[in-house]
Structure 1
Amino acid sequence: MRIKRSVTSHKKKKKYIKAAKGYSGAVGRRYSLAKQQYYKSGKYSYAGRKNKKRDYRNLWITRINAAARAQGLKYNELIHGLKLANVDINRKMLSELAVNDPDGFNEYVNIAKQSLAESVQ
C-alpha cells in the first residue's frame, strides 16, 4: 500500500495558516501567501528588534541633551566630562536620572563641569 502525504501536507499548511491568523486579505487564508508573509514577518520582527535598540538610544540621548542644556552644558560636553572624570554610567541611567531625579542628574553635570575645567588648565 502506498503512503499518501495528505496528513503531513495538511499539518504543514496548517502551521503557516495558523501563524498568519489575523493578517488581512488572502494572506491570512491562502497557504502560499501565508507562507511568504510568515517569512517576511520574521524579517520585519528581526529588524524591528534592532531598530528598537536604536530608537531607545536616540530617546535617551535626546532626554540627556535637554536636561544638560538646562544646566548650561551640551550633551557631548557632558559625556566628555564624565569620561574625563572616569564616571562609568550608561545613557539609559543618565536619562532616567534626568527625568525622575533632576538633583542627582545635576550632581553628574557638576562633576562633568569640574573635570572639563581641570582638563582645560
Structure 2
Amino acid sequence: MTRIKRGYVAKRRRNRTLALTKSFRGSQSTLFRTASQRATKALEYSHRDQGRRKRDLRRLWIVRLNAAMAHEGYRYSLAIHRLRKMGIALDRRSLAQMGVCDPEAFSGLLSFTLQAPSLLVEG
C-alpha cells in the first residue's frame, strides 16, 4: 500500500468542522460525521433567522412607534405618511429610538410634522 502524505490536510479540515460544533451537545460535537451534519444545519438555521431577525426588529420598532404616537394622540399611519411627504428621511429604527430615549424631541417632531400642512412637498 502506498503512503498517503496529505494526512494533516484531512485532519485540519475535520478539526475546523469540529471547532464549529464545539458547544453542541453529545456526539454532535465529537464525531465528525454527525458534527458536519449539525454544522450544515446550523448554518441553514442561521441564514433563515437573519431574515426573521430583521422582520422581528421592524415589527418591534413599529409597535414602539405606534405606542409613542398614540401617547401623543397621533395615528401611526398618518404620521409616517406626513414624514414621507415632508421629505424627512428618518427610518423606523431611528424614530423608535427617539420615541423611547428622547420623548420631548419626538413630540416636537410629531407636532412640527402634523401641524404644518403648508410645508408639504409635492411628489
Alignment partners' CA distance in 1, 2:72 and 2:117: 14
Unaligned runs of 5+ in 1: none
Alignment partners' CA distance in 2, 1:114 and 1:32: 65
Contact 2:86 2:119 in 1 (8 A): no
Contact 1:80 1:112 in 2 (8 A): no
2:71 maps to what in 1?
Answer: 70
Worse overlay, 81-90 or 31-40:
81-90
Alignment partners' CA distance in 2, 1:10 and 1:86: 58
Q: CA deviation at 1:16?
A: 1.4
Q: TM-score, normalised by structure 2?
A: 0.83
Q: CA deviation at 1:102?
A: 0.8
2:96 maps to what in 1?
Answer: 95
- Give the secondary structure class of the aligned counterpart of 2:81: helix
User: 5 Å matches for 1:1-121?
Assistant: 2-4=2-4, 6-115=7-116
Alignment partners' CA distance in 2, 1:118 and 1:16: 59
CA deviation digits over 1:29-64, x for unaligned, max 9? 111110011111111122222222222211111111
Structure 1 33/114 Cα, relative in aligned 2: closer, same or farther at 3 Å?
A: same
- Corresponding pairs, count: 119
Q: CA deviation at 1:22?
A: 1.5
Unaligned runs of 5+ in 2: none
Structure 1 117/58 Cα, relative in aligned 2: closer, same or farther at 3 Å?
A: farther
CA deviation digits over 1:52-100, x for unaligned, max 9? 2222211111111000011111111110111222222111111111011
Over the aligned positions, Cα root-mean-square deviation in angstroms equals: 2.2
Q: CA deviation at 1:118?
A: 8.3
Alignment partners' CA distance in 2, 1:70 and 1:117: 25
Q: Name the % identity.
A: 27
Partner amino acid for 2:104? D
